[in-house]
Structure 1
Amino acid sequence: MGSPKKNEESKGFFAAMSSGFSMFSNAMHRSVNGMLGYEGVEVINPEGGKDDAEEEAHRGRWRKEERDGYWKMMHKYIGSDVTSLVTLPVIIFEPMTMLQKMAELMEYSYLLDKADESEDPYMRLVYATSWAISVYIAYQRTWKPFNPILGETYEMANHGGITFLSEQVSHHPPMSAGHAENEHFTYDVTSKLKTKFLGNSVDVYPVGRTRVTLKRDGVVLDLVPPPTKVHNLIFGRTWIDSPGEMIMTNLTTGDKAVLYFQPCGWFGTGRYEVDGYIYNSSEEPKILMTGKWNEKMSYQPCDSDGEPLPETELKEVWHVADVPPNDKFQYTHFAHKINSFDTAPRKLLASDSRLRPDRYALEMGDLSKSGNEKSRLEEKQRAEKRTREAKGQNFSPRWFDLTEEVTATPWGDLEIYQYNGKYTEHRSAVDNSSSIDGGDVKSIEFNPWQYGNLSTE
């Protein structure tokens, strides 16, 4: 990290300043960065000062030699979009892919059911925005999901009557598409992340489009989430913040929700807090919302100045479910459910994320095998690309079609993929078939490839 002398100076500095930390926070930030000798290093304790600041500065999941070597490799990428630029070590991964992470929005899908059942147009947005906020407890995890292989899929069944499917539809740039449906709603997303690497942190911009259609009245809701910042990637305790506005617009009526995610200050000030209003189409506030994305959200009717109406009270609309204690990857019970074959439909697609050998090896705690399998899959992906280019063919997703629509987002234009309905037909045929192959579903070989004979072994 730095020379022993610098480390000793850093330790003495922290000890001398600990009693007046808040008064000298800006000076300390500059001093710590300077003594560590790395541009872009941030030393912030988001947990509210529970640990000594000097310990926090040098804490991390890396062994020193791994951390320093990785820093030397990554330094040249400062200021770049590293979404698919860098091969990362499995030590920072969780045993889940981005396609599975997309499914975590379905944990509190009952809120969308309530939105569909509600006759109050503003309460619809209260329920729907609470659903959108609910996934941020999953974003609190600091482990990185695996990047999906092109053509990889994830299926989920047996949860609230929902059928969920996601597919990796593009590799450069990395893009995923998802579709979920039950009797109350349909959910469609085209997801594309844009990043900016800043040294010891990375900014993540959600260049995506999320649409929810409530079936009873055909109401269409459009979601624009705030950007996310991952702090202390290499040095210190890694933590995540999502400061900025979340906007959900009822495209049918013009009503909208605007909620502000407070940025995390020194010693955790403001972290997790979310506040805002539900507005009518004339931009008049109707309902105020407040809470913390890691605890609960509440609402209360308000007047045109945004003040609570007399004789009304703040009511809870959602609270986070209990989580497993001391879980290695900070998983919720639902995250474990996503990885489980209990939520898999009959005759699971061979392209499903659960079947990835690198993901499964990491889940079993075998980092060496996980790293080897990850490298093998990435090489097979490159081999398939060479085969496809030699044939003069473009990759075509199986379950989603590229449309001619291009939508503008706050962080760039986005091509839209649309669910083509073929999976519904496939799943119906499988479920109605009396001849389902037996055997252990875990024994299915992971196979997202469109061309065969790609093994480099």
Structure 2
Amino acid sequence: MDSSSKDQKPSGGGGFFSSLASSISNFGSAMQKSVNGLVGYEGLEVINPDGGTEDSEVEAQKGRWKQEDRDGYWKIMHKYIGADVTSLVTLPVLIFEPMSMLQKMAEIMEYSYLLDLADECEDPHMRLVYASCWFISVYYAMQRTWKPFNPILGETYEMTNHGGVTFIAEQVSHHPPIGAAHAESEHFIYEITSKVRTKFLGNSVDVYPVGRTRLTLKKAGVELELVPPPSKVNNLIFGRTWVDSPGEMVVTNLTTGDKVVLYFQPCGWFGAGRYEVDGYVYNSAEEPKILMTGKWSESMSYQPCDLEGEPLPGTQLKEAWKLAEAPKNDKYQYTHFAHKLNSFETAPKNLLASDSRLRPDRYALEKGDMSKAGSEKSSLEERQRAEKRARETKGHQFTPKWFEQSSDVFTTPWGEVEVYRNNGKYAEHRAAIDSSDSIEEVDVKSIEFNPWQYEDLTAE
């Protein structure tokens, strides 16, 4: 995070920042206890987000794992403490959701109407209110405790039927795992190179977003850049899994120098501060212009403020974004939009064979066949290893179809990432299909998942 953003707070400790205190720097400050008395688990942290209603040993027995499974995975995983486990460990289907990471990248498109408002907005500071609310809106999806499938190298996900938005994502690297995505409408262009770095802590894992996000608003003629906060997944093996994302989110207008600095409060004792987001829109002179407050799990509001960050007299808080109603008691905590992302009914004409919807392990899990999902997942991973061997034998390198690696290297607070850009070929591909009457439409369900650049060589 840009260290200078800390200096942008209004002086005097007034306004919304008075509630932040010193908890911002305490990454994951919810009540934590070591499980004592459980032989072999010395130092294991079990964090109860509700804080103190039950002791740690009782909390440790909760969650989706059976006792024997918890014991087994602790024996396997404890040796990785302190390591980056991004692609190091093979995990059981039990903890997965029927969606790939590429699809999860597309979930930010649910509230794309906010970018339409931002692009049409004449006020440059309100433009940042709408854009930052759009970035916040995806956190409801990010807090799900199920793990999405790691994309196979060359896997894609495409969406062409949501509010005039065209979205294409591709897994462009396997080690380290990197996904690239490009979305476009009449109002905006969204580009992301997504890479994460993790640190396994035993019963939790810190997740650092080592990626680059750029958003161009076409009519407004401005380019925005996002630096999101890190996240922490608590109670991976023992206890009920939950996610916290304490820290700063910074959205910078690279064209004008205006920016938004928002603080995601860490979950404190008895759940205090959980989900809360507070901050300001600053002009290029680093003066606060609009305060923002709310919860990423519910809604965000804004109000004009003075140079001390206090609300201007005669103004009121106004809601800028509100979470859409979600299905009740959904097994995977999916929104209606998340279900739409998985649906074959919403797949574009002549869906790419590399599309995540077609993954046999994902589809089997969606249908509730855990055994088949596990075997299909193992089969896909073996085919991926076989293709890698084939490439190395022939001296070839993997080449993405819809993106190309640029010469740019983007530096984040947690590391560097090679930037991938849309190469324009997907737009040509989709335009050729949509404009042609001679291309025979294929039944989506008859398409076999195929992200491979080489034939399946597992039998060799």
Q: Deviations over 1:280-317 (max 9, x none)?
A: 00100000000000000000000000000000000000
Out of 235, 251, 263, the residue aligned to residue 260 of structure 1 is 263
Shift of 1:343: 2.5
2:80 is the counterpart of 1:80: no
Query: Whole-Å Cα distance in 2 between the matches of residues 169 and 305 of structure 1?
Result: 46
Shift of 1:192: 0.4
Partner residue, 1:433: 436
Partner residue, 1:406: 409
5 Å matches for 1:304-383?
304-383=307-386
Partner residue, 1:5: none
Shift of 1:323: 0.5
Partner residue, 1:17: none
Matched positions, count: 431
Residues 1:129 and 1:73: Cα distance change in structure 2 (over 3 Å): same
**Equivalent pair of 2:145/2:241 in contact (CA under 8 Å):** yes
**Equivalent pair of 2:275/2:295 in contact (CA under 8 Å):** yes
2:123 is the counterpart of 1:120: yes
**Equivalent pair of 2:61/2:67 in contact (CA under 8 Å):** no
5 Å matches for 1:24-423?
29-30=32-33, 32-33=35-36, 35=38, 37-39=40-42, 41-47=44-50, 55-423=58-426
Out of 42-51 and 265-274, give the one that drifted further.
42-51
**How large is the Cα RMSD of the aligned pairs?**
1.6
- Of all paired residues, the percent bearing the same amino acid is 75
Q: Deviations over 1:163-205 (max 9, x none)?
A: 0000000001100000000000000000001000000000000
Q: Deviations over 1:33-59 (max 9, x none)?
A: 464642553333324677786543310
Q: Deviations over 1:102-129 (max 9, x none)?
A: 0000000100110000010000100000
Q: Deviations over 1:62-111 (max 9, x none)?
A: 11111211111111100000000011100000000000000000000100
Out of 435-444 and 355-364, give the one that drifted further.
435-444
Query: Whole-Å Cα distance in 2 between the matches of residues 40 and 226 of structure 1?
Result: 27
**Equivalent pair of 1:44/1:267 in contact (CA under 8 Å):** no
TM-score, scaled to structure 1: 0.91
SS in 1 for 2:251: strand
**Equivalent pair of 1:200/1:233 in contact (CA under 8 Å):** yes
Question: Structure 1: which 5+ residue stretches go unaligned?
Answer: 1-25
Shift of 1:264: 0.4
Shift of 1:217: 2.8
Partner residue, 1:14: none
Residue identity opposite 1:368 in structure 2: S
Residue identity opposite 2:125 in structure 1: Y
Partner residue, 1:11: none
Question: Structure 2: which 5+ residue stretches go unaligned?
Answer: 1-28
**Equivalent pair of 2:383/2:456 in contact (CA under 8 Å):** no
Residue identity opposite 2:98 in structure 1: P
SS in 2 for 1:342: coil
Residues 1:69 and 1:162: Cα distance change in structure 2 (over 3 Å): same
Query: Whole-Å Cα distance in 1 between the matches of residues 446 and 417 of structure 2?
Result: 37
